Amino acid sequence: MIRPWKVIRSKPIGDFRIFKLRSDVSVHPDTGEEHDFFVLDSVNWVNIVALTPDRELVMVEQYRHGSGTVELEIPGGMMDAGETDPVVTGVRELREETGYEGNAARRLGQVLTNPAIFSNTCHTVLVENCRLKHGVEFDQAEDLVTRLVPVADIPKLVAEEKIKHSLVVVALYHFDLWQRGIKKIGG
């Protein structure tokens, strides 16, 4: 039986806009041994599975500064201050990044972004009947192109690693499981 460790000291190291870094000292629950760990804190993130009436997925192509590559992804972003419902973030990010708006927006699933080093969660929001209704409103240094991709092509695009962002692949697996009746929404 694995039991949680206890954090006995925590020291902030710095604020790097997207994340803050801290150094924790934690104690093993059985042995009492102390170890230190670096942890990254960020607000929660939200990715959006946005479907059109023609069974297409609203995707975006964008340059990513971590990998230095152009990636095919689904829209997404960080929860703004004051946003407590990931659905609100999802609908907002979908509109800002693509101009699309739909209905029946709801939570499809969530994962831990990387529980070894990050404390936050990434939500996936599903939106149906999406249509282009607005102009885009990019954040500073954002630069995206919308791509409509048939839903039927998605598993192959993941399999062929044309879609490479781990959190996008996670969202698409939850979507795949929902389509197959294995994932229940809200469950």
Considering only residues 109-148, where is the footprint of a second copy by CB under 8 A?
109-119, 122, 140-141, 143-145
Touching a second copy, residues 27-86 (CB under 8 A): 28, 33, 35, 37-40, 61-71
Rounded to a whole number of angstroms, the minimum distance from the CB of residue 93 to a second copy is: 13
Secondary structure (3-state) at 163: coil
Rounded to a whole number of angstroms, the minimum distance from the CB of residue 92 to a second copy is: 18
Interatomic CA distance for residues 118 and 73, integer angstroms: 21
Structure token digits, residue 143: 């630069």
Cβ distance to a second copy smaller for residue 80 or 133: 80
Rounded to a whole number of angstroms, the minimum distance from the CB of residue 21 to a second copy is: 7
Rounded to a whole number of angstroms, the minimum distance from the CB of residue 109 to a second copy is: 6
Order across the sheet with 6-15: list the strands.
Answer: 6-15, 20-27, 34-41
The Cα-based distances of 22 to 13, 29, 91, 122 in angstroms read 5, 21, 32, 20
**What is the signed CA dihedral for 130, 134, 135, 138, rounded to 10 degrees?**
-70
Touching a second copy, residues 75-114 (CB under 8 A): 109-114
Cβ distance to a second copy smaller for residue 92 or 183: 183
Cβ distance to a second copy smaller for residue 148 or 170: 170
Which one of 5-13, 80-88, 95-103, 125-133 is the stretch in contact with a second copy (CB under 8 A)? 5-13
Say if CB 40 and CB 119 are below 8 A apart.
yes
Does 186 bind a second copy (CB under 8 A)? Our answer is no
Rounded to a whole number of angstroms, the minimum distance from the CB of residue 73 to a second copy is: 9
Does 10 bind a second copy (CB under 8 A)? Our answer is no
The Cα-based distances of 46 to 30, 43, 59, 137 in angstroms read 37, 10, 14, 17
Does 8 bind a second copy (CB under 8 A)? Our answer is no
Cβ distance to a second copy smaller for residue 81 or 159: 159
- From 122, 92, 91, 115, select the one nearest 104 (Cα to Cα): 91
